[in-house]
């Protein structure tokens, strides 16, 4: 193990030769820090500390190399936005470079404390001591406030742990933000009281006023038990700020909207586990939503497992977080899912749940039973 | 022309047959709005208005189709974040779907006014009535505040129109945000006074406090003439909020950091002109930075031209904005650049400018002369 304060990023890149690969790696190290040609980098602090240092370049297949570059925590400061900017900001625009690993090092671990709640904290808030959590999604967009509240109420009575807003619920005229949050929070609270539950309502916060953080606090005041944020659209900085704000103190679920191109092409972007595990956790998310295998999106079993692993990696930054596979869950598939994801997981129950209509509570209850039976064995 | 209030998105997708293409298009229309199976979409308002409507699916090559889908402005509300969420949020995670065109329609045009300044406003602020604008970048990261201020001063005296922060300057200990902004603003102001110039200093705002908008106002108070924002990292919502805030009233330049994977693979993501033209302008950016042809990034002439076209398209949303190609500009290439981009353009002068050392002012001046001579002919 290297004993210094730097953080390390591993890239997979294409090159015609080892010499070309070295040159590309050096290019990344400059691009991600000083962004000036190597021969005019000022000596001293900038050259010794700030410029990325290529530590290793090794062949990894035909025309393929893996390069490890170390960076100074001084480049990132205390900001997750700037840290990601250093990891892959401009180099994301070059062909055939993919981020495949990130090692924070001691200083970044100190500065970035990760999730406020993590797995244990989410369990404490929802009262689900063991077994997978169940999170029905209230939708569709276009429903009015009382329709959404009614679905939420039925789902809580059915045994849901988390009621999640559809990520398409923002501040639309059929269900304005404040009205939606107030009505659904009340419905969830009443249903909790009735059944002795502790279900939490996670409000989708898009920042319609331009201030997502203010909007998150509005949600809290209206009774929300958590927030849903889309880092691809609102930025990782919002996740980071809210997770560190003691007066906010609600768990955060992050959603993958508008991040697909980062993972879909193996030659560019960022590995699945990094995008939906490492970066979410680094920013301070407690629950990371991603498209489950077998649903409408083409993620493989291995890709989904790499995400779950990164979310819960004991070596990761701060507390372990909950992976939350969306889609592909049903009573019939519950056995497969539990054996794939284990206990520390939030199962999203999406659009197909609505097929149950007025019996949506019973559908949630059936899922609850299926997961509990499997966890008990 | 269709006469209704809906906005339209055109997607290019892969499919084995026309029937499969229709099915995929219907899938996108559902995914981007209600996110529930088509057979359980509630009748009435949701079915008639909210669900995306597939208007056209046409063959466009081997296994390739183009689909036009219309959406309700009610889905987007008044938010750019939610509008982008509808355009491509979840479908961005599916293979072989690319956004290739966007037609706002009358209602979105009314709600989204686009850039506050646009080309004419940026010219008015910088005093550059005609010809291309020149924007040296102050860097490298790791420099102290007085070093950055000194570079800025020299560049203003050399005839720069815009002094742009390197996008890697955030809130680091060697040049903390407030100190940097204050010192560089003063240097730019003094140099303007000395040479009778109106150069504007564009401050990189990353939102280290979690509140990029507050930070933008801090920059304004410290004397900034504009802000630089990275929508890929801080979100388009910040651009939108600041562009509409009358009390802010400074031009906005946007930077492409952490957006590369959206454009690099032709089968996924978003076309170049949409990412670096249409979406930036829709959000309210006045100047869009993108990697120029011939620099370190592999954008083609056609891709760069499509970006410039979208920035200045008379049919676009709101005022026309300035394209700002980064890299690849030199006195020798000025002729090619002017014939490629015309007059309404901001040329970024990046790392290679620093090669001039103490003579950086003279280097800016030489570029100024080269561009002016070409514009005068």
Which pLDDT belongs to residue A1? 54
Q: Check B260 against A92: CB less than 8 A apart.
A: yes
Pair type for strands B226-229 and B252-254: parallel
Q: Let me know whether B143 and B16 are in one domain.
A: no
Query: For the CA atoms of B213, A284, A236, A302, what is the dihedral angle to 10 degrees?
Result: -170
Reported as type and span, the H/E element at residue A238 is: helix A236-244
Tell me if chain A has a CB within 8 Å of the CB of B230.
yes
**What CA–CA distances, in Å, run from B300 to A28, A322, B97, B294, B339?**
21, 42, 21, 8, 16
Q: Which of A68-72, B135-139, B153-157, B329-333 has the lowest mean pLDDT?
A: B329-333
Average the pLDDT over B17-33 and give the result.
Answer: 98
pLDDT band at A2 (very low <50, low <70, confident <90, very high): low
Q: Check A40 against B93: CB less than 8 A apart.
A: no
The residue assigned the tokens 């959590």 is A133
**What CA–CA distances, in Å, run from B67 to A147, B27, B28, B315?**
32, 11, 10, 21
CA distance B377 to chain A (A): 33
Give contacts of B352 with chain A, Cβ < 8 Å: 36-37
Give contacts of A27 with chain B, Cβ < 8 Å: 296
Segment B287-299, tens digit of pLDDT: 999 999 987 888 9
Q: Let me know whether A125 and A261 are in one domain.
A: yes
Average the pLDDT over B71-93 and give the result.
Answer: 97
Whether the predicted pLDDT of B152 surpasses 60: yes
Tell me if chain A has a CB within 8 Å of the CB of B351.
yes
pLDDT band at B327 (very low <50, low <70, confident <90, very high): confident
Q: Check B95 against A298: CB less than 8 A apart.
A: yes
CA distance B129 to chain A (A): 31
Q: Let me know whether B180 and B152 are in one domain.
A: yes
Give contacts of A217 with chain B, Cβ < 8 Å: none
Residue B1 lies in a domain: no
Whether the predicted pLDDT of B185 surpasses 90: yes
CB count within 10 Å of CB A365 equals: 18
> The domain that contains B39 carries what CATH number?
3.30.70.150
Residues whose CB is less than 8 angstroms from the CB of residue B247 and which lie 6 or more positions away in sequence, other chains included: none
Mapped onto helix, strand or coil, the DSSP state of residue A165 is strand
Q: Which of B84-93, B186-195, B245-254, B352-361 has the lowest mean pLDDT?
A: B352-361
Phi, psi of A243 (to 5 degrees): -70, -25
Q: At which of A111, A131, A163 does a domain end?
A: A111
Tell me if chain B has a CB within 8 Å of the CB of A214.
no
Angle at B200 between CA B196 and CA B205, to 5 degrees: 160
Q: At which of B76, B111, B146 does a domain end?
A: B111
Q: At which of B89, B111, B133 does a domain end?
A: B111
Give contacts of A31 with chain B, Cβ < 8 Å: 296
Whether the predicted pLDDT of B1 surpasses 70: no
Do residues B257 and B167 lie in contact, with contact meaning Cβ atoms separated by under 8 Å? Answer: yes
CA distance B196 to chain A (A): 30
Q: Which domain holds residue A78?
A: 7-111
Do residues B102 and B10 lie in contact, with contact meaning Cβ atoms separated by under 8 Å? Answer: yes
Q: Let me know whether A147 and A276 are in one domain.
A: yes
**What CA–CA distances, in Å, run from B298 to A36, B69, B271?**
18, 31, 15
Residue B213 lies in a domain: yes
Average the pLDDT over B329-348 and give the result.
Answer: 92
Tell me if chain A has a CB within 8 Å of the CB of B38.
no
Average the pLDDT over B60-69 and give the result.
Answer: 97
Do residues B18 and B57 lie in contact, with contact meaning Cβ atoms separated by under 8 Å? Answer: yes
Q: Pick from A42, A79, A87, A93 the residue to mutate for testing the B interface (most B CBs within 10 Å).
A: A93
A338's torsion region: left (phi>0), alpha (psi -120 to 50) or beta? alpha
Give contacts of B76 with chain A, Cβ < 8 Å: 170, 172
How many A-B residue pairs are in contact by the CB < 8 A criterion?
A: 321
Residues whose CB is less than 8 angstroms from the CB of residue A337 and which lie 6 or more positions away in sequence, other chains included: A132, A292, A325, A328, A329, A345, A347
> The domain that contains B278 carries what CATH number?
3.20.20.110
Q: Check B351 against A90: CB less than 8 A apart.
A: no
**How many domains, in total, are found in chain A?**
2
Which pLDDT belongs to residue B377? 59
Q: Check B265 against A270: CB less than 8 A apart.
A: no
Residue A170 lies in a domain: yes
Q: Let me know whether A153 and A91 are in one domain.
A: no
Residue A309 lies in a domain: yes
Q: What is the mean pLDDT of chain A?
A: 95
Query: For the CA atoms of B200, B204, B208, B211, what is the dihedral angle to 10 degrees?
Result: 60
Whether the predicted pLDDT of A3 surpasses 80: no
Burial of A63 (0-12, 13-18, 19+ CB in 10 A): middle
Whether the predicted pLDDT of A223 surpasses 90: yes
Whether the predicted pLDDT of A250 surpasses 80: yes
Q: Let me know whether B299 and B159 are in one domain.
A: yes
CA distance A377 to chain B (A): 33
Tell me if chain B has a CB within 8 Å of the CB of A85.
yes
Segment A47-62, tens digit of pLDDT: 999 999 999 999 999 9
A335 token code pair = 């056995």
Give the single-character DSSP code of A277.
I
- Selecting from B50, B213, B258 the residue whose C-beta is nearest the C-beta of A211 gives B213
Q: Check A35 against B139: CB less than 8 A apart.
A: yes
A254 token code pair = 């992050």
B97 token code pair = 């779907």
Give contacts of B244 with chain A, Cβ < 8 Å: 210
Q: Let me know whether A220 and A297 are in one domain.
A: yes
Q: SS3 for chain B, per residue?
A: CCCCCCEEEEEEEECCCHHHHHHHHHHHHHHCCCCCCHHHCCCCHHHHHHCCEEEEEEECCCCEEEEEEEECHHHHCCCHHHHHHHHHCCHHHCCCEEEEEEECHHHHHHHCCCCCCHHHHHHHHHCCCCCCEEEEEECCCCCCHHHHHHHHHHHHHCCCCEEEECCCCCCECCECHHHHHHHHHHHHHHHHHHHCCCCEEEEECCCCCCCHHHHHHHHHHCCCCEEEECHHHHCHHHHHHHHHCCCCCCCEEECCCCCHHHHHCCCCEECHHHHHHHHHHHHCCCEEEEECCCCCCCCCHHHHHHHHHHHHCCCCCCCCCEEEEECCCCCCCHHHHHHHHCCCCEEEECHHHHHHHHHHHHHHHHHHHHHHHHHHC
For B:113-142, CB contacts with A below 8 A are 139-142
Tell me if chain A has a CB within 8 Å of the CB of B84.
yes
Whether the predicted pLDDT of B84 surpasses 70: yes
Residue B2 lies in a domain: no
Residue B125 lies in a domain: yes
Average the pLDDT over B84-102 and give the result.
Answer: 98
The residue assigned the tokens 């304005």 is A176
Tell me if chain A has a CB within 8 Å of the CB of B207.
yes
Which pLDDT belongs to residue B244? 95
Q: Let me know whether A285 and A330 are in one domain.
A: yes
Q: Check B170 against A77: CB less than 8 A apart.
A: yes
Whether the predicted pLDDT of B163 surpasses 80: yes
- Selecting from B212, B244, B262 the residue whose C-beta is nearest the C-beta of A237 gives B212
Q: Pick from B23, B28, B35, B239 the residue to mutate for testing the A interface (most A CBs within 10 Å).
A: B35
Average the pLDDT over B357-364 and give the result.
Answer: 94
Do residues B324 and B343 lie in contact, with contact meaning Cβ atoms separated by under 8 Å? Answer: no
Q: Check B85 against A142: CB less than 8 A apart.
A: no
CB count within 10 Å of CB B47 equals: 14
For A:311-340, CB contacts with B below 8 A are none
Distance of CA A266 to the CA centre of its chain: 20
CA distance B20 to chain A (A): 14
Q: Check A234 against B237: CB less than 8 A apart.
A: yes
Average the pLDDT over A281-293 and give the result.
Answer: 97
Q: Let me know whether B103 and B123 are in one domain.
A: no
Q: Let me know whether A171 and A291 are in one domain.
A: yes
Which pLDDT belongs to residue B375? 75
Tell me if chain A has a CB within 8 Å of the CB of B48.
no
Segment B255-286, tens digit of pLDDT: 999 999 999 999 999 999 999 999 999 999 99
Q: Check B85 against A257: CB less than 8 A apart.
A: yes
Which pLDDT belongs to residue B239? 97
Average the pLDDT over A311-320 and give the result.
Answer: 97
Sheet-wide strand order for B64-71? B53-59, B64-71, B7-14, B97-103, B269-270
Q: Check B234 against A81: CB less than 8 A apart.
A: yes
Largest CA distance in chain A: 71
Q: Let me know whether B90 and B198 are in one domain.
A: no
Burial B343-360 (b: 16+ CB within 10 A, else e): ebbbbbbbbbbbebeeeb
Burial A249-278 (b: 16+ CB within 10 A, else e): ebbbbbbbbbbbbbbbbeebbbbbbbbbbb
* Percent of chain B scoring above 90 in pLDDT: 91
Q: Let me know whether B138 and B268 are in one domain.
A: yes
């Amino acid at each position: 193990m290297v004993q210094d304060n730097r953080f390390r990023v591993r890239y997979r890149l294409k090159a015609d030769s080892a010499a070309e690969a070295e040159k590309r790696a050096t290019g990344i190290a400059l691009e991600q820090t000083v962004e000036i040609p190597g021969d005019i980098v000022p000596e001293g602090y900038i050259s010794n500390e700030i410029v990325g240092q290529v530590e290793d370049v090794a062949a990894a297949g035909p025309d393929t190399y893996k390069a490890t570059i170390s960076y100074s925590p001084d480049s990132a400061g205390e900001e997750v936005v700037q840290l990601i900017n250093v990891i892959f900001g401009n180099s994301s625009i070059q062909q055939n470079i993919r981020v495949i690993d990130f090692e924070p090092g001691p200083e970044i671990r100190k500065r970035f404390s990760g999730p406020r709640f993590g797995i244990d904290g989410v369990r404490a808030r929802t009262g689900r001591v063991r077994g997978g959590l169940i999170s029905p999604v209230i939708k569709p967009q276009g429903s009015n406030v009382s329709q959404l509240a009614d679905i939420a109420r039925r789902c809580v009575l059915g045994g849901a742990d988390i009621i999640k807003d559809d990520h398409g619920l923002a501040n639309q005229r059929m269900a304005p933000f404040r009205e939606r949050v107030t009505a659904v929070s009340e419905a969830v609270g009443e249903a909790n009281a009735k059944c002795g539950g502790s279900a939490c309502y996670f409000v989708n916060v898009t920042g319609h006023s331009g201030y997502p953080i203010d909007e998150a606090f509005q949600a809290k005041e209206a009774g929300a038990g958590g927030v849903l944020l889309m880092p691809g659209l609102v930025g990782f900085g919002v996740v980071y700020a809210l997770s560190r704000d003691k007066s906010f103190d609600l768990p955060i679920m992050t959603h993958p909207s508008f991040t697909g191109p980062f993972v879909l092409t193996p030659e560019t972007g960022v590995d699945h586990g990094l995008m939906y595990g490492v970066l979410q956790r680094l920013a301070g998310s407690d629950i990371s939503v991603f498209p489950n295998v077998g649903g409408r999106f083409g993620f493989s079993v291995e890709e989904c497992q790499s995400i779950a692993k990164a979310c819960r990696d004991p070596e990761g930054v701060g507390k372990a977080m909950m992976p939350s596979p969306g889609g592909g869950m049903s009573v019939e598939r519950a056995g497969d899912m539990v054996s794939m994801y284990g206990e520390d997981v939030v199962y999203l129950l999406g659009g197909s749940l609505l097929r149950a209509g007025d019996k949506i509570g019973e559908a949630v209850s059936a899922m609850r039973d299926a997961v509990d039976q499997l966890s008990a064995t």
